[in-house]
Structure 1
Amino acid sequence: METLPNCDRWSELPMDLLRCVFERLSFVDFHRAKMVCSTWYLCSKQTLGPRYGSPLLIMSQEEGSYRLYNPEEDRVYEAKSNYRFLGSSGKWFLIVDSRSDLYILNVFSSERIRLPPLETVKSSLYKLERLGGDKGLFIEREATFSKGLCLATKDLRAVLWVDEKKRDYVVVWGFEACPYLRFWKKGDVRYREISTHGDVRYQSLNNMVLKGYSLYVQTEWSSIRHLVLSGRDIFEDVWTIYWPQMRTDVLFGTGVYKVSSYSNKMAVTTSGELLMVKTKAYESTSERHRMFHLYKRLDNKFIEVDSLGDEALFLDLGITVPADHTLGIEPNSIYFSCDEHFVHKRVSCIDICVYNLATKTIKRFPSLSNLKLKDAQWFLPS
């Protein structure tokens, strides 16, 4: 029998043998293997591999490690990382490392794109200064004042959009305690500031959606701003609309249930319509339930709707996508993971599930029940 090449010559393996190996790999292993070398990548293109584009979960554990979960395989993959994941677009994730530097990371190939330092902000009003070493602390000062606001990268919130074909990138970030947003596009050498128009301050940087160059952000007084970031030097305000605050105790069924957790999220449909989604977890002495309510923007108001049609809503991403049974994307369903992501001030309610709007039933994943999770996010690798 002919002996196999040495381990440093994996690229010389016979193509027929490689194809046999690739056909037996799981989804994640398949995409890891095709990054070994150019020969393996070419072989992956000639192989009928696992279905591409099925929903996946990235999960953060208490000790700081991460895992990937594929619901179709019902398999958890270990991932050693010191990164903190801020947002995702396809297989690309926006991450911050232990030095408080931002990167865009391909979660399968480990390809990284380094972004400018956080303090590289183009602004005539505010200055962001890094406070030494790996402390993850910054001071933001107004131009005319010596005192400033102390900020930490654990309070950093961000969204990401990647155009895979054009290799174009857009990033929007801000600190939880600071009402100012910054954005970056491919080719920029520094971040640009989004004006707050005087009295308009941002309520929570957890409630942002970025789809292409369109940014949707909720403000402190419950208005929603739609901005377009495609200009080279400026951004454009498209519209602002009011969204009322939600109650924390509501009637449910035949009695009053205590709301144990609730959230208020935005999403954008495939056709570009804005959705607001209220989700509440109810508890009584005998049961726990979760409900979702959808509201669609119509002119300058919101109307409640009861269906997504032949689309699925990924609430973590803030987008809807066409349903696809071959990829396990269920129609008229909401993919949900937790109320708020990476919130260190309180414990987030982790509840990984798929909610069917037509039947009002919830599908959960028992194999994840024993994992001590700090956070989880759905993402779509395609």
Structure 2
Amino acid sequence: METPPNCDRWSELPVDLLRCVLERLSFVDFHRANMVCSNWYLCSKQTLGPRYGSPLLIMSEEEGSYRLYNPEEDRVYEAKSNYRFLGSSGKWFLVVDSRSDLYIINVFSNEKIRLPPLETVKSSLYNIERLGGDKGFELFIEHAKILVTTKDLRAVLWVDEKKRDYVVVWGFEACPYLRFWKKGDVNYREISTRFDLWLYGLKDMVLKGNSLYVRTVPNNIQHLVLSGQDRFEVVSEIYRPLLRTDEYERLIRENKIISLINNIVVTTSQELLMVQTLAYESSSFERHRMFHLYKEQDTKFIKVDSLGDEALFLDLGITVPADHTLGIEPNSIYFTRDDRFCHKRDSYIDICVYNLATKTIKHFPSLSNLKLKDAQWFFPS
């Protein structure tokens, strides 16, 4: 919903009439409407709007625009943007624009917080130089020069709505360092992901509050706490052995494996899970998926078969309580892609919900005709 050309006249609508209008709006339109003017905003606070908290999809299309999709309504909302979406927290998204600048934006109100330039890094170990335009950046690390663009950028975001506080962590896939930024910081601070002199690289990360979970090459998982005073603390470190199942070994022998990706997930009780996504082809050359869950226990990962009464959102790296009234299915994995941090050549978008108990996949037919280059599940609250 666009802001009316004469907002004063719209703001003079009788409260009873305005409330009737707001009560009939969809979830997305309701949130756009309360940004029209201060009177609409105040009235929306006194109006029983649509149910709040259902998972939504944000989808980037090949031509540069994006859309919002509400599975409960089975409705797609169109919008225009030149942003690339990197990570989300509630209705806030960390994005990068065509000029390689970082922002935090509210996808409903378009409220925007600009972050410092990517090259604003305080470090004695490396340097970042912007090449200008869309040419990307040069990283100077230990006498080596690496050319990167924002396509190599990986990031996570956490926003505390009540305190209006936020934490951002980002890094380039080819660089052995992450950068983090907390509200009030002057410069980006660095975190080394180096395992030794030669082995480094980002495979996955999850940010939950001030807790950052990072998986790096070769199979190292670190739990860090990003504290104040520009510091971070390594709380724990796990060396994860390679996880192999009987199904995986069988498919390898039959030469049907397409890919195998492992992702880390943090549960509502702060437990660490490993999610293994296996893509393979059947005899009819149809592509299928298989999921395995492993729970961290005493620095080891034990295979588990169920999430219980929780749902897992792989894009966010978290689990949430199931809620049938909000359309959050229990013991299910909400999926779009398995290589958000470690891109594959044969990557493809597969928007679905996988039920671990029945081993069945639910797709969304109304999205099948869209030409998408990316999609992410998120929660507006």
Question: Smaller-chain TM-score range?
Answer: over 0.9
Structure 2: how far apart are the matches of 1:345 and 1:265?
A: 14
Contact 2:352 2:363 (C-alpha < 8 Å) held by counterparts? yes
Structure 2: how far apart are the matches of 1:89 and 1:40?
A: 25
Residue 263 (structure 1) aligned with residue 261 (structure 2) = yes
Contact 1:223 1:240 (C-alpha < 8 Å) held by counterparts? yes
2:47 partner SS: coil
**1:179 corresponds to:** 176
Taking the TM superposition and a 5 Å limit, the aligned residue runs for 1:13-32 are: 13-32=13-32
Structure 2: how far apart are the matches of 1:81 and 1:168?
A: 25
Structure 2: how far apart are the matches of 1:367 and 1:177?
A: 37
Given candidates 152, 157, 160, the residue that maps to 2:154 is: 157
Structure 1: how far apart are the matches of 2:342 and 2:34?
A: 35
Structure 2: how far apart are the matches of 1:338 and 1:79?
A: 22
Structure 1: how far apart are the matches of 2:145 and 2:95?
A: 26
Q: What is the CA distance between 1:110 and its match in structure 2? A: 0.2
Contact 2:177 2:194 (C-alpha < 8 Å) held by counterparts? no
Contact 1:93 1:106 (C-alpha < 8 Å) held by counterparts? yes
Q: What is the CA distance between 1:225 and its match in structure 2? A: 0.9
Any idea what the Cα deviations from partners look like across 1:193-243, whole Å, max 9, x if unmatched?
1134661754335x1101111111111111111111123222101111122
Structure 1: how far apart are the matches of 2:343 and 2:261?
A: 16
**2:105 corresponds to:** 105
Contact 1:60 1:375 (C-alpha < 8 Å) held by counterparts? yes
Contact 2:175 2:201 (C-alpha < 8 Å) held by counterparts? no
Q: What is the CA distance between 1:167 and its match in structure 2? A: 0.9
- Seen in structure 2, the aligned counterparts of structure 1 residues 6 and 158 have a Cα distance that, compared at 3 Å, is closer
Contact 2:311 2:329 (C-alpha < 8 Å) held by counterparts? yes
RMSD across aligned C-alpha pairs, in angstroms? 2.2
Moved more, 100-109 or 275-284: 275-284
- Seen in structure 2, the aligned counterparts of structure 1 residues 257 and 27 have a Cα distance that, compared at 3 Å, is farther
AA paired with 1:152?
A: T
Unaligned stretches of 5+ residues in structure 2: none
**2:292 corresponds to:** 293
* Structure 2 length-normalised TM: 0.92
2:104 partner SS: strand
Residue 320 (structure 1) aligned with residue 319 (structure 2) = yes
Taking the TM superposition and a 5 Å limit, the aligned residue runs for 1:1-382 are: 8-132=8-132, 134-142=133-141, 145=143, 148-196=145-193, 199=196, 201-205=199-203, 207-245=204-242, 250-251=248-249, 256=254, 258-286=256-284, 287-341=286-340, 346-382=345-381
* Structure 1 length-normalised TM: 0.92
Q: What is the CA distance between 1:7 and its match in structure 2? A: 5.2
Contact 2:349 2:375 (C-alpha < 8 Å) held by counterparts? yes
Structure 1: how far apart are the matches of 2:273 and 2:79?
A: 33
- Seen in structure 2, the aligned counterparts of structure 1 residues 325 and 66 have a Cα distance that, compared at 3 Å, is same
Any idea what the Cα deviations from partners look like across 1:154-208, whole Å, max 9, x if unmatched?
2111011111111111111011111211100000121001134661754335x11
AA paired with 1:180?
A: Y
Any idea what the Cα deviations from partners look like across 1:298-323, whole Å, max 9, x if unmatched?
01101011111111110100001111
- Seen in structure 2, the aligned counterparts of structure 1 residues 298 and 114 have a Cα distance that, compared at 3 Å, is same
Contact 1:136 1:153 (C-alpha < 8 Å) held by counterparts? no
Moved more, 366-375 or 90-99: 366-375
Structure 2: how far apart are the matches of 1:261 and 1:49?
A: 43
Q: What is the CA distance between 1:103 and its match in structure 2? A: 0.4
1:47 partner SS: coil
AA paired with 2:313?
A: F
Structure 1: how far apart are the matches of 2:265 and 2:115?
A: 26
Structure 2: how far apart are the matches of 1:296 and 1:325?
A: 25
Structure 1: how far apart are the matches of 2:231 and 2:287?
A: 47
- Seen in structure 2, the aligned counterparts of structure 1 residues 6 and 300 have a Cα distance that, compared at 3 Å, is closer
1:31 partner SS: helix
Q: How many residues align?
A: 373
Q: What is the CA distance between 1:79 and its match in structure 2? A: 1.4
Q: What is the CA distance between 1:12 and its match in structure 2? A: 1.3
Moved more, 267-276 or 330-339: 330-339
Contact 1:100 1:136 (C-alpha < 8 Å) held by counterparts? no
Contact 2:195 2:217 (C-alpha < 8 Å) held by counterparts? no
- Seen in structure 2, the aligned counterparts of structure 1 residues 368 and 343 have a Cα distance that, compared at 3 Å, is farther
1:374 partner SS: strand
